[in-house]
Amino acid sequence: MARMHSKGKGKSGSNKPYSNDPPEWSNSDKKEVEELIVQLSGEGHTNASIGSILRDLHGVPNVRLVTGERVSQTLQRLGKDTGYPEDLMSLMRRALRLIDHLSQNSKDVHNRRQLELCESKIRRLSRYYKDNDRLASDWTYKRDQLRLMVE
């Protein structure tokens, strides 16, 4: 599939090996892994960083093989769900950094274009999350209220 806002014709990269069960050497205690997920979420880590911490420090190569669901699904089931989805939040943080940059460098037309593209991605992703009931149906992206949403 082609890239959204560039001339690239796809992506290359490695894939995880297919497996239905965790390796024998891994920590495969479901209850313990769920407690670690809740603890790390309470410390303010994102879902992606929770997975990395579990992989690097606690011997859980793939949370999905141990618990049967993703980190975000586990947090949602346990009632510890965060406000906005992680990918939408990272795009909003990026837009905020670009807005701050453009406030000091008003003639930077290249970053002004990048801000437009980033905001386009935010609107497209928010439409997807509204359709799947992950965002409120009356939620809209507003540049002047962005700082309040991110912080």
What's the pLDDT tens digit per position in 107-131? 999 999 999 999 999 999 999 999 9
- Residue with the larger pLDDT of the pair 4 and 68: 68
> pLDDT digits over 31-54, tens only?
999 999 999 999 989 899 999 999
- pTM value is 0.80
Residue 2's pLDDT is what? 67
Judge whether 69 lies within some domain.
Answer: yes
Which token pair is 19? 């497996």
Judge whether 90 lies within some domain.
Answer: yes
CATH code for position 101: 1.10.287.10
Residue 18's pLDDT is what? 87
Does 69 lie in the same domain as 112?
A: no
Does 99 lie in the same domain as 50?
A: no
Does 40 lie in the same domain as 94?
A: no
Does 115 lie in the same domain as 59?
A: no
HEC assignment per residue over 65-115: HHHCCCHHHHHHHCCCCCCCCHHHHHHHHHHHHHHHHHHHCCCCHHHHHHH
Q: Is 40 left (phi over 0), alpha (psi -120 to 50) or beta?
A: alpha
Answer whether residue 3 shows pLDDT above 80: no
- Final residue belonging to a domain, choices 42, 77, 112: 77
CA atoms within 13 A on the CB side of 124: 8
Q: Give the chain's domain count.
A: 2
Judge whether 9 lies within some domain.
Answer: no
Answer whether residue 8 shows pLDDT above 90: no
Q: Confidence class of residue 28 from pLDDT cuts 50, 70 and 90?
A: confident
Does 144 lie in the same domain as 119?
A: yes
Judge whether 64 lies within some domain.
Answer: yes
Instruction: Please give the residue range of the domain that contains residue 53.
Output: 30-77
> pLDDT digits over 55-87, tens only?
999 999 999 999 999 998 999 898 887 778 889
Residue 5's pLDDT is what? 83
Does 69 lie in the same domain as 42?
A: yes
Does 44 lie in the same domain as 61?
A: yes
Rg, Å, the chain Cα set = 19
Does 92 lie in the same domain as 68?
A: no
Q: What angle do CA 18, 23, 26 make, to 5 degrees?
A: 135
Judge whether 92 lies within some domain.
Answer: yes
